[in-house]
Amino acid sequence: MAFLLDIKTIFYLLSPIIFLSILILIENLYSKKGKKTTEEYLTELALLKECSEHDIFFMAASDWNVSRTKIEEDFKEYLINNIIPYYVTDFVRKNKK
């Protein structure tokens, strides 16, 4: 009987720790930890370079030979519909570090 009481005591002491560990594991599996979107990287890049996102669009376009009119249209599309053009995506990808 004393042996069973010891096992029950150990179980009662460890069950909250096990429960919290499982909750933390589930949270880590379903959270966005470390998985930033291109939009988040774009914003961070603008902050690091101490410029606007609009300026980043122009920097990105220089590698792709995109016209100023197209850049302006794409930036408006980004502001309205959150769509990032291919040349900005490429620029952000190359500058993530």
Per-residue pLDDT of 39-63, as tens digits, reads: 999 999 999 999 999 999 999 999 8
C-alpha 26/C-alpha 22 separation (Å) is 6
Structure tokens at 27: 């949270």
Domain ranges across the chain? 1-33, 38-94
pTM, full prediction: 0.65
Q: How confident is the model at residue 68 (pLDDT cuts 50, 70, 90)?
A: very high
| Residue bearing the bigger pLDDT, 28 or 96 | 96
